[in-house]
Chain A
Amino acid sequence: MHEPGYNFAYLDESTKRMIRRAILKAVAIPGHQVPFGAREMPLPYGWGTGGIQVTAAVIGPTDVLKVIDQGADDTTNAVSIRRFFARTAGVATTERTADATIIQTRHRIPERPLTEDQILVYQVPIPEPLSRLEPRIAETRRLHSMADYGLMHVKLYEDITKHGHIATAYAYPVIVQSRYLMCPSPIPAFDNPKMHMMPALQLFGAGREKRIYAVPPWTEVRSLDFDDHPFRPIRAPHACALCGSTESYLDEVITDDQGGRMYVCSDTDYCNERQALAGGAT
C-alpha cells in the first residue's frame, strides 16, 4: 500500500505524462538535454529530485527498486529515497542489483553488468558538460546545436600540457552516438566504459536544472580522449580488503590516525555477493 492522500509514486498523473514525454524525446535524441517542467519535490534540490521524478514517472506497482549512493545501499540519502518510494508507491525494494528492475543511483554504476530488463536512473547535479567552461545556458545550447565541442577538447589538451595527462577524475565527458557531448553525472571516470553498449536503458534526471537526458540500450558512449593520450579509468591500485576484488572501484577507509588505511569495494552488493560466494566455497 502506498501513502494515502498522495497519488501512486507521489507525482500526479499529468506531471508523470509530461515527464514521460521528455523521457521519450530524450531516448529519441541520445545525449541531448531535454528541458522539462521539474516540480518541487518534498526532498531538497541537489539531493536527487531529478532522479526521483524520473523514477516516479517510470515506476509501476510490480517494479523492484534499488537505490544507491556512492555505490552503497545504506548511505543515508539512498535510505531516504528508498523509503520515499516504499512510502509513496508501496513498491518492493531490494539491495541486490540482480533483482532490481529500476536502479536509482548517485555517483556510481553497479559493478555487475546490467540487463535489458533494467533501467538505470542517474541523479544529475549539473547536466551541462560545458558549464565550467561556459556558464551561460543560452550559449551552451548553441554550441550543442552546432556540435561545437572545441572548448572541451582544448580543456583536455590543456590538462595534458599542464599535468602530462587528462586530470579529470569524475564527471568525465562522453560523446554519445558520435553526436552529443554529455555529462555522465559525477560518476568516477572508472565507470564510464560501463555506459558503452549497456543493455539497460540509462536515464538522467536533473531536477534543479530541469533537464532530462538518456542513453538508450546498446548505444555507443565514448569518453573523450586523444589518439596519443587514450582515456584511462582511474582506480586505487589495490585489492578489496573484504572480498579481494582487484577489478572493482574502491573506497579508501582511514582506520587510524597513524596513516593506517584500507580499501574496500564501493559497490556493497557486489562485495557482499563475492564474500558470500567465497564463504560458500570454503
Chain B
Amino acid sequence: MYVATKGGERAISAAHAWLEAVRRGPPGRAEIATDQIADQLGLAVDRVMAEGSCHDRGLAALAIKQARGDLIEAAFLLRAYRTTLPRFGSSRPLDTGAMRLQRRISATYKDLPGGQVLGPTFDYTHRLLDFRLTAESEPAQPPPEAAPDSAVTPRVTELLAREGLMQREVSYDGTPGDLTREPLSFPADRPLRLQALARGDEGFLLSLGYSTQRGYGGNHPFVGEIRMGDVAVELVPPELGFAISIGDITVTECQMVNQFKGSRREPPQFTRGYGLVFGHGERKAMAMALVDRALRAAELGEASDAPAQQQEFVLSHCDNVEATGFVEHLKLPHYVDFQSELENVRTMRAAVAAGSLG
C-alpha cells in the first residue's frame, strides 16, 4: 500500500549533517584554516571576490572553506551575505593610473615608459607537476628584489589617444546605474554592462571572448596593457566634503586595443575594450575586455549578429549565481507539470492510434 512520503524535514537535517562531516574530512587530519586559504589559494579567493562582487579576502576564504572548494557555491554564499550589508556611500572612481604595480605588460610595444613588469605570473612556466609540493616544504628562498621603480607609468591607451589614434571615452557625469538595486533593462548602457561583466562568470566570458577571436564578432584585439596592483579606494564623506582613502584593494585591469575602420562621423582609429576585476584575475579581465568591445558593436555601427555582440544574450546569462540556481532547480520536483504532460502525450498517442486504425 502506498503511503505518502513524509519526513522531508528529518531527511534535510540528516543530509546537512552528512554534508558537514564530508566538508570537515577525516577528523584525524588537520583542519584547513581560512587564512591558509586566503594566502595559499589566493587566486581562488580573488575569483570568489570578483564573482561574489564583494572585496573581502577573509570572507571569501571562509566561503571557499564552507563550500568545500566549490567556487560558484562560494560566490553565492558571499553574494547572499553582501546583499544584507548597509550602503553608506559610493567611492570615487578608482585611479588605476596611480596603481602601485605588481605587474604591467603591454603586447603592443616592445618597451615603453614604466617598462614591462612581469610580476608573479604563470606565464613562461613549464606546466610540469612539481612533486616537491606534495611534501611539506621549507619556506622558499625569498625572490630577488629590485629597488622600486619610481618612473611614471602612463597607460598605453592614453599614449595612443594623445596622438588621436585611440577613441576617447565619453566622460560620464551622471550617477551610474546599480544593477544590484535596479533590475537591468535593455538596452543597457556601458557602465551597467561593465558592472554585469565584472561580476560575470569567468568561464562564460572566457568562452565568449574566445568566440570573438574565432570569427564570431571579431574585432582584431591587441593587449594594449594589463596592469595588476594596489589602488586606493577613496570616499567623500558628505560631512567632510573632501576625499579620504579608506583602504587599498588589489585589482587587475586590461585595456584591449581594437581596430575600427571608421564611420561617416568618425575617422579610422583604435577603440577600447575594458576589463577590471578584483584581485589578480588576468584571464577574466582579458575576457571581459574582449566582450566589452564586442558589446559596443551596435554603438560603433558594426554588424552585431554574433552571440558575444548581443547584450541581452550576454548580460542575461553571464551571472553564474543566477545560472547555477536556475539550472539546478531542475532537481526540484516537477511531477505536477509532468503529470499534465503525461496525460497530454497519452491523449495525443490515442488520437494517432485511432487515426492509423481508422
Query: Hey, which bits of chain A sit against chain B, CB under 8 A?
Result: 6, 12, 35-42, 44-47, 49, 69-72, 74-80, 83, 106-108, 125, 135-138, 163-165, 167, 169-171, 186-190, 208, 210-211, 234-236, 241-242, 249-253, 255, 262, 264, 266, 268
Contacts and interface: CB of A to CB of B under 8 A. Distances in A.
B32 interface: no
A138 B82 CA distance: 29
Contacts of A190: 340
Contacts, number: 152
Contacts of A264: 2, 4
B351 interface: yes
Given A40-B83, A234-B343, 17 more contacts: A35-B182, A35-B183, A41-B80, A41-B83, A45-B326, A46-B328, A70-B334, A70-B335, A70-B336, A75-B8, A76-B11, A167-B348, A169-B337, A169-B341, A169-B344, A188-B336, A242-B2
B134 interface: no
B337 A35 contact: no
B9 interface: yes
Contact of B83 (A39, A169, A186): A39
A250 B343 CA distance: 11
Majority secondary structure of chain A interface residues (helix, strand, loop or mixed): loop
B143 interface: no
B187 A79 contact: no
Given A137-B186, A268-B4, A40 B82 contact: yes
Interface in B176-214: 180-187
Contacts of A69: 332-333
Contacts of A40: 76, 79-80, 82-83, 180, 321
Nearest to B327: A46
Contact of B333 (A70, A188, A235, A236): A70
B187 A42 contact: no
Interface string B80-119: 1011101000000000000000000000000000000000
B322 interface: yes
A124 B16 CA distance: 27
A167 to B, nearest CB: 6
